[in-house]
Structure 1
Amino acid sequence: MNHLYEKTVKTTEIFKGKVIDLEVQEVELPNGKMSSREIVKHPGAVAVLPITKEGKIVLVRQYRKALGKTIVEIPAGKLEKEENPLDSAARELEEETGYKTDKLDFLLSFYTSPGFADELIYLYMTDKLEKGTTNMDEDEFLDLLEVSLEEAEQMVKDQTIHDAKTAYAILYLRMKAGFGS
């Protein structure tokens, strides 16, 4: 058994919402003592790093109420119940940007805040975009941007891009052999 494992003794549901659930877990620590963990349960999400035929990164600018400000991000969204991440990525790309694709490459997945949440984001990339029309959710408002990798990196530096999934995707793109060189 993992010597760092925390055994859950009791789970209390605190809140059940449309996007997240919150629970408190009483756990037995590896040293036998008890503690509690507040955990956000999330169905997971997808994000897409879309690259135009001109080599521009397609980004969205939107207001994030939790932050109280507007930030720039790659297209992303929550997985619907029992939805395949690949299907979700294609749906989110089209809804938010109007671009369609028949080629999404899975890059990797990552946890957003493992200290208190179980959200896992699946990151995809495409450079095979076909322009269509946006079909945003009724409570979603955003602007589209198309920027070079260098412009995106500057946006990370000046914190116009201020979220982990987008910074992570840009870092991945920079590290990808030959891109932007």
Structure 2
Amino acid sequence: MPEKSFVHKGRIFDFVREKVSLPNGVSKFYDIVKHRGAVVIIPLISKNKVILIKQYRVSIKKYILELPAGSIDVEEKPFACAKRELAEETGYFSKKIKSVGKLIPCPGYSTEILYIYKAEDLIKHRKIFGKQNVFEKDEDEVIKPIVYSREQVKKMIKNGKIIDAKTIASFALIGWL
């Protein structure tokens, strides 16, 4: 078997089998998900109100509440992706987007890095079709943006209504928990 082989080349990630030499000298084949990375946006309507997305997730066949997020396109920078995903998923632009950290969600099998951004001073945009600066949500996304207070978010995390790990970790990064 070669040192590295593509098992599956996908639209968002590749699945590879790769021979890895560990720090203890052992060499072994590992299955790894190679991912370009993604962004998570914490869109604050005010100091204590945030927009969450109610999104249908095909892999678990149900709706969940989560922060807006999305995969970084080829040759796209994380900051540009954050602006794009915010507009696509919430209908807002932000005058103030700031990086608040990075997360590695699945280091046991994936190279994905999540770039976390906080968006403030939000402006609702009007859809003007045919203009390049207007974003439409992806056709395979079934989403609904909903505004929640900080207290509601904390309660929903505690009672299991918010179960998305990247969302919970992102709120922890900004001190909301």
Residues 31, 108 of structure 1: CA spacing in aligned structure 2 closer, same or farther, 3 A cutoff? closer
Question: Does 2:100 match 1:111?
Answer: no
Residues 29, 173 of structure 1: CA spacing in aligned structure 2 closer, same or farther, 3 A cutoff? closer
Q: Which runs of 5+ in 2 are unaligned?
A: 127-134
Residues 54, 81 of structure 1: CA spacing in aligned structure 2 closer, same or farther, 3 A cutoff? same
List aligned pairs for 1:74-89, cutoff 5 A: 74-89=67-82
Instruction: State the Cα deviation string for residues 35-56 of structure 1 (Å, max 9, x = none).
Output: 2111001110011101113631
Work out the CA distance in 1 between the residues paired with 2:10 and 2:154: 35
Q: TM-score under structure 1 normalisation?
A: 0.86
In the alignment of these two chains, the number of paired residues is 168
Q: TM-score under structure 2 normalisation?
A: 0.88
- The match for 1:137 is 138
Q: CA deviation at 1:173?
A: 2.9
Question: Does 2:162 match 1:161?
Answer: yes
Larger RCO of the pair (alpha carbons < 8 Å, separation 6+): 2
Work out the CA distance in 1 between the residues paired with 2:80 and 2:73: 10
Residues 38, 130 of structure 1: CA spacing in aligned structure 2 closer, same or farther, 3 A cutoff? same
- The match for 1:171 is 172
Structure 1 consecutive aligned stretches of length 4 or more whose deviation exceeds 6 Å: none
Q: CA deviation at 1:161?
A: 1.4
1:49/1:169 contact within 8 Å kept: yes
Q: Secondary structure at the match of 1:160?
A: coil
Q: Percent identity?
A: 36
Q: Secondary structure at the match of 1:86?
A: helix
Work out the CA distance in 1 between the residues paired with 2:104 and 2:87: 24
List aligned pairs for 1:1-181, cutoff 5 A: 10-53=3-46, 55-133=48-126, 135-174=136-175
Residues 59, 52 of structure 1: CA spacing in aligned structure 2 closer, same or farther, 3 A cutoff? same
Work out the CA distance in 2 between the residues paired with 1:131 and 1:27: 48
Q: Which runs of 5+ in 1 are unaligned?
A: 1-8, 177-181
Work out the CA distance in 2 between the residues paired with 1:32 and 1:105: 41
1:90/1:100 contact within 8 Å kept: yes
1:149/1:174 contact within 8 Å kept: no
1:48/1:76 contact within 8 Å kept: yes
